[in-house]
Structure 1
Amino acid sequence: MSQVFDVVVVGNGSLGLSLGLVLARRGVRVAVLGQPHRPGAASSSAGAMIGTFGEVTTTLLKTEYGRTKLDWAYRASKLWPDWLASLSPDTDGRELFTADGTVVMLNSVGLPEIDTDNYRAIRRALGEYGERFEDLDPEDIEWLDPEPTARPLQAMFIPDEHAVNAHELLVRLDRAFTAAGGVLITQEAARIDRDGDQVTGVTLVSGDPISAGQVVLAAGAATQTILETLPDQAAMIPGLVSGYGVSALVDTVDGTSPRSVIRTPNRAFACGLHVVPRGAGQVYVGATNVISPDPRSRALVSDVLFLLDCGVRQVRRNLSRSGLRKLQVGNRPVALDGMPLLGETGVAGLWMMTGTYRDGLTLSPLLAREMAALLLGEEGTVDLQLFRPVRSPIQAFDRADIVSTTVTHMMATGYETNWSLPVDLPLTIEHYLRLAYTRIADEFDPEFTPPPELLAASRIHLSIAQSLRDYYAAGRTTVAGR
């Protein structure tokens, strides 16, 4: 017999559970689907930095799309104290915070066109929003002990940018959701069911049907598989690939940990190197973001080596003698145009809440509130229309700028991995990379160009290149039909 709900949320990460919780508290009959251990999910393996400004980049500040995302992150950050308190009936929820503020350091690793410029962008954004920060003498950064060639040149402390315990957050979201009357179904959806242009529910991998007048796809990078059960819709929506990342939980050899997050600005195609305290004697180390056609479940040896080398060389040398407690793999949802997918699709009652890349957990209280309002036919406080799922490709920069950024980031990966080359050879490499990426972009489409990380990945993954070509062809159909 089919179970019947008003809303089914496909995906039990921070976004899906947060939406389910808001709806359940509004009296909606809602179910959230997903395996309890969340294999490969971004939320469960995240450093969970609740950061608005530590993630700011020069490109973010240059466009309407980036400015919108920054503003949403800022609004979301103000919701977190009350949000955590609402999950914890016996406390104010502050015990979920694992870090007291964030130290952003600009060190001698990487390229000035990325690291230095992004460091300046963070300062500029903090000033524009009137947020507190203070400059630090790099030699006074608590706990920091890098090797001399990676010593910091500048540093600032952002006192209101914290981090939370991602595992405990998800546990409390689970409990709060069921306490509010929501139903957790510990299976994944196999397909979306519809009657004409109206969604009717989903069918689980077990074959059992779940009926609902509204279905929200919030399964992160795994959303693409279920969306493709409706091929006509999948063709008109930017496909999702994985921003696969590796993180490590480390038991420090001396039993110490920093009080604050220690991180760099965002770097080549990725978040910055970051070390997050996780209780006495334990830290979380993260730095990687690798575009993959499909979600990954296991870490590549090369990415593990890169991650640990960054942590040891740039943050604390005795991490090399510390115990590796756990390696974690997460898959961030990345749309082919790099932008979120938020709102109703071309099938009535079928919604998407994904494509948030590195911002999903930070944005979860805000997006849960706003998506719930849309589902209930109410007016929200932010306009999600900019990122509606059925759209022509969003392109924030022209082709020449995208190619230039791609080349710069590719060169930066060499410096971050400590390559040693004759001084004039990088100029030659840069020249030929520019030619190669321009040719690849020209072959995709006369006008549309993917964001830098997708352009770079398309050279390696032929399936991503084909997905881009298919999406651009469908995008031209969408434009012509208007």
Structure 2
Amino acid sequence: MFHSPVSATADPSQAPATFDTIVVGNGGLGLSLGLVLARRGQRVAVVGEASRPLAASVAAGAMNGCFGEVTPTLVRSEYGRLKLAMDVRATSLWDQWAQSLIEESDETRIRSATGTIVILNTIGVPGIDSAGYAAIRQAMQDYKEPYEDLEPEDIEWLAPEPKSRPLKAMFIPGEHAVDTPALLRALPAAFTRAGGVLVDAHVDRVVLEGGRTTGVVLRGDGKVLSADNVVLAAGVSSHELLSAVDPEIRDKIPSMVAGGGVSLLVRTENGLIPDSVIRTPNRAFACGLHVVPRGDGVIYLGATNEVLPKPISTAAIGEVNLLLSGIRQMRADLVNGHILKINVGNRPIPLDGYPLLGPAGVDGLWLMTGTYRDGLHQSPMLAEEIAARVLGEPHDTDLDVFTPVRPPLQSMTREEALETAVTHTMAVGVEHDWHLPEDFPPLIEEQFRRSFRQVLDEMDHDFVPPPELLFFVEDEIHDALRRYYDAHR
């Protein structure tokens, strides 16, 4: 039984002014939380610009990736193993979640792929690709997840150029993909039918009174929406909305940088698309090369990752070129396809690399962000978890390690972070198909090692940043790291 439908509020001035909970951010995470709370009978507003500028969700390939995302560094740390456990739990919820969205919206399908094929090809480097492939297999064996080894030449759709051919391949039948546009249509439809209110506006700031949150102020007309609880699920922009919080608390919450990503929607020349996701292991500071079927002769080709202090809104030519050069690894005749759309999005990356989930140091204020590449996949699980916390119900206390007000979560030693940064940096050159005299790569590698070590030494002697923050050298990011570290002396 549905509540009476409520349409999105095109004019924020016409929105109700009082709610039980306000969710700031209308991407996959924010809408999922709003839906769970609305189903529970809460008066909920989800606030965000309808066009979702700069958001991660709109550019996501939306692989229901769990084991396919495993890397050697992930499973070596307790926090990484917890993230994997979260992914496994989220996977178990997606069948029911997708079906409920179909029933509560006008969509006829949410999933766009059946299973995932992981390939190990000749483009990567042993310390990343081969090690990642082995880590994926080991994680599936540990969790008793079924998989099947494939002969690469038997993968029907795959037809790379000879120099990029796969060496190994395996099929993971339990890992699928989501049609992102369908999901982002289904979620608001289900939410409003459950009684929720969509407010098409940008939140200017959070209101604090008497040491607790009382609502938000909208940009433009300055309208105040009141609520007992405010959840910030606005991705990279979430930390900026903490401006009213006491700096002694705010500075102890890791701020976020943007994992700017570019992906392509491509119509193949012959209309052929795979049934499954086809992907490499994660590589070179990114989620590897992957093709996701979208239907009607269209594939999603993704995705790049560049860590930046601020979100991006346009695609750099170099990022597009990297994707276009990657088609040789999947199907050589994709060069005859047509680019339908260039997607640009921004993954939220906390300064210590781990999600921000829970109370933000002020009564009634919560964070639900910083999920990097896991947000859309984990959205059903995190929506249930954050809803339980907001409603004061029992929840999974294992996730409390990701409470936002925290010292930096350290998953690597200084030497491990240094060598990981060097290995991935060199792999960027391989992925770009560089051509150098054979004595140049060792010289370049040693230069990067010296440079990264200098950055580590100058930044801090106690805390260790994630390796990608060494590679993407930005003064603004390094200044933010120093402020965060200083707050936890």
Provide the C-alpha distance between the structure 2 equivalents of 1:338 and 1:293, rounded to a whole number of angstroms. Answer: 14
Distance, in Å, in 2 between the alignment partners of 1:134 and 1:251 is: 29
Amino acid at match of 1:364: S
Taking the aligned partners of 1:384 and 1:181, their CA distance within structure 2 comes to: 29
Map of 2:423 onto structure 1: 408
Deviations 1:14-35 (A, max 9, x none): 1100000110111111100001
CA contact (8 A) 1:81 1:93 kept: no
Q: Aligned runs of 1:170-185 on 2, under 5 Å? A: 170-185=184-199
Closer, same or farther in 2 for the Cα pair 1:238/1:90, shift >3 Å? closer
C-alpha separation in 2, matches of 1:378 and 1:396: 30
Secondary structure at the residue paired with 1:393? coil
| Residue of structure 2 equivalent to 1:479 | none
Partner of 2:260: 244
Which of 308, 330, 351 is equivalent to 1:315? 330
1:123 aligns with 2:140: no
Shift of 1:90: 7.3
Kindly tell me: are residues 471 and 192 of structure 1, through their superposed partners in 2, closer, same or farther at Cα, counting changes over 3 Å?
same
Amino acid at match of 1:298: T
CA contact (8 A) 1:220 1:354 kept: yes
Structure 2 residue 233 is matched with structure 1 residue 218? yes
Task: Note if 1:192 corresponds to 2:206.
Answer: yes
Query: What amino acid is aligned across from residue 277 of structure 1 in structure 2?
Result: P
Aligned CA distance change for structure 1 residues 205 and 106 (closer, same or farther; 3 Å): same
CA distance, structure 1, for counterparts of residue 262 and residue 52 of structure 2: 15
Instruction: State the shift of 1:446 in Å.
Output: 1.1
Equivalences for 1:326-337 in 2 at 5 Å? 326-337=341-352
Query: Equivalences for 1:224-235 in 2 at 5 Å?
Result: 224-230=239-245, 232=247, 233-235=249-251
1:264 match: 280
Distance 1:265 1:193 in 2: 44
Q: Which stretches in structure 2 are left out of the alignment for 5+ residues?
A: 1-12
Q: In the aligned structure 2, how far is the partner of 1:188 from the partner of 1:128?
A: 44
For residue 169 of structure 1, give the secondary structure of its aligned residue in structure 2.
helix
Q: What amino acid is the match of 2:360?
A: T
Alignment correspondent of 1:286: 302
Q: Does 1:358 align with 2:373?
A: yes
Question: Given the alignment, which residue of 102, 120, 123 partners 2:116?
Answer: 102
CA drift at 1:313: 1.3
Matching residue within 350, 358, 373 for 2:388:
373
Distance in 2 separating the partners of 1:367 and 1:118: 26
Off by >4 Å, runs of 4+ in structure 1: 90-94
Aligned to 1:133: 147
Q: What is the CA RMSD across the aligned residues, in angstroms? A: 1.5
Does the Cα contact within 8 Å between 2:452 and 2:470 map onto a contact in 1? Answer: yes
Which secondary structure state, in structure 1, belongs to the residue aligned with residue 142 of structure 2? Answer: helix
Contact 1:85 1:93 in 2 (8 A): no
Task: Choose the corresponding residue for 1:467, options 474, 480, 485.
Answer: 480
TM-score (norm 2): 0.95
Secondary structure (helix, strand or coil) at the match of 1:420 reads coil
Query: Once the two structures are superposed, what CA deviation does each residue of 1:179-220 show, in whole Å capped at 9, x if it has no partner?
Result: 111111010110011014211111001210011111100011
Identity, in percent, stands at 53
CA 1:463/1:361 → structure 2, altered by over 3 Å: closer, same or farther?
A: same
SS in 1 for 2:160: coil
Distance 1:137 1:382, change over 3 A: farther
Which consecutive residues of structure 1, in runs of 5 or more, have no partner in the other structure? Answer: 477-482
Is 1:142 aligned with 2:162?
Answer: no
Q: Relative to structure 1, is the Cα distance of residues 92 and 55 closer, same or farther in structure 2, using a 3 angstrom cutoff?
A: farther
Report the residue type matching 2:459 in the other structure.
F
Q: Check conservation: 1:56, 1:121, Cα contact below 8 A.
A: yes
1:480 corresponding residue in structure 2: none
Letter of the aligned partner of 1:132 in structure 2?
P
Distance 2:318 2:430 in 1: 16
